[in-house]
Every structure is written in C-alpha cells, then in structure tokens.
Homo-oligomer: A and B are copies of this chain.
C-alpha cells in the first residue's frame, strides 16, 4: 500500500529551475521526475541540483504530456492563475496544497502533479488532461512564484501524506469511463458546442470525489444500461 508521487515539468525554460526542483524533491524524499520537452540541461542544472544530481540524472525525458502521464491514476495541475474564471470547468475549483494533502491522506495509488512553463503556464488543452486543479494562495500583488518554489510548497504538503486503505481508481479505467460518457453524450444528441464543457465538468466532479475502483465500474454499468434503453 503506497502513495506514489510523480512530478512532471512541462517544457521548463531554465535549467537552474530544473536542478532546484530535483533538489527540493530529494529534500522531501521524492525521486520520480519527468521532464516534457525541457530546455538543455547542463552544468547549471547540476549545480542547482547540488546533492540531488541522482534525481536530475534519473529524470525521464519525454516529448508529450500524455507520455509523461502514463501510469498515473490522478493528475493534478498546478496553476497560479486562479482569479481568471474564463472557463470555470477548466480552472475551477482549485485546491490549496493543504487541501490536496488532506484529500489524498489515507489513499493509495499514483498521483502525478504537473507544473507549467515559467512564462505561460499551461494551455487550456493541457489543463483538460488534469483531474484536479491546485493553486497556491499568494498575494494578489505579485502571485507568480518561481517554479521551484511552487514545487517546494507542493512537496512540503505531499510529504505529509500517509498512504491508507482507500485505493484510488485506476487511471486507465477512468479514461474508459470518460470515453463512455462521451459515447452517451453522442447517443442523446447532446449539443455539440456544450459537449466538451460537460465532459470536463464530469472530470472535475469525479476528480474531486476521488472515485473508488468499484464506483467506476458501477458508473460504467449505469451508463451501459442508459445506452441500452436509448437504442
């Protein structure tokens, strides 16, 4: 029974930040780092990693977020821009790092936390890949934190999680559930322009609810029965 944390940096721009993140990870006992299409990593990254060069050298380097997320049961995206309510299903509601800790205490599974680029964060398309949104409460005057500082806060909270009995639903099964929901939306001629938002709403609700494996199966059974009656 373990709680595994994967840290994923999406297209980090500065090698010093990547090294600093590796150091913070080792400080809090985490080792699973994945870099999506990162900047060049040379001496500066190593200098900032200090005694965590093993975490830096062990980092997986991949081309896409999708590859990075393989094997994760839950995907948490961290974003600094919580004031924006441009599309509330994309960004809302955000959890604080403390709430994340409370939410995942007593669970077991693999949780990925993804961090966006230093300058532009995530695209909306990228945010849609996440089940849960997290945001660090900062001053409105200057909310944009250094990347490694933001990672450090998340790690500080997540390091206080103790794994427990509650098994998180398998990420693969969840993807099947979301595909199933899309099928049903098609079956009931759901308005095309609302489909994506509603898909995302379900994802956010189930993300917050932390579905258990059995609940995923029951939901799929329910959807199957709905489909049978439609046809």
Interface residue ranges, A against B (CB under 8 Å): 20, 23-24, 26-29, 48, 50-52, 97, 136-139, 141-146, 148-149, 152-153, 156, 159-160
With A136-B156, A159-B137: A27-B148 Cβ-Cβ less than 8 Å? no
Interface centre among A20, A52, A152, by most B CB within 10 Å? A152
CA distance A49 to B64 in the complex (A): 31
Picked from B27, B141, B143, B160, the residue with its CB within 8 Å of the CB of A149 is B27
Cβ–Cβ contact B52 & A20, under 8 A: no
Interface CB pairs A-B, < 8 A, 5: A50-B144, A50-B146, A138-B159, A146-B148, A149-B149
CA distance A114 to B48 in the complex (A): 23
With A51-B144, A144-B51, A146-B23: A28-B153 Cβ-Cβ less than 8 Å? no
CA distance A112 to B61 in the complex (A): 42
Which residues of chain B are within 8 angstroms of A136 by Cβ–Cβ distance?
156
Interface centre among A28, A142, A143, by most B CB within 10 Å? A142
Indicate how many identical chains form the complex.
Answer: 2
With A137-B159, A159-B137: A27-B145 Cβ-Cβ less than 8 Å? yes
Cβ–Cβ contact A26 & B152, under 8 A: no
Cβ–Cβ contact B20 & A142, under 8 A: no
With A20-B146, A23-B146, A146-B23: A28-B138 Cβ-Cβ less than 8 Å? yes
- The smallest C-beta distance from A161 to any residue of chain B, in angstroms, reads 12
Cβ–Cβ contact A20 & B51, under 8 A: no
- The smallest C-beta distance from A138 to any residue of chain B, in angstroms, reads 5
Q: Which residue of B lies closest to A136 (CB)?
A: B156
Which residues of chain B are within 8 angstroms of A152 by Cβ–Cβ distance?
145, 149, 152-153
CA distance A7 to B97 in the complex (A): 23
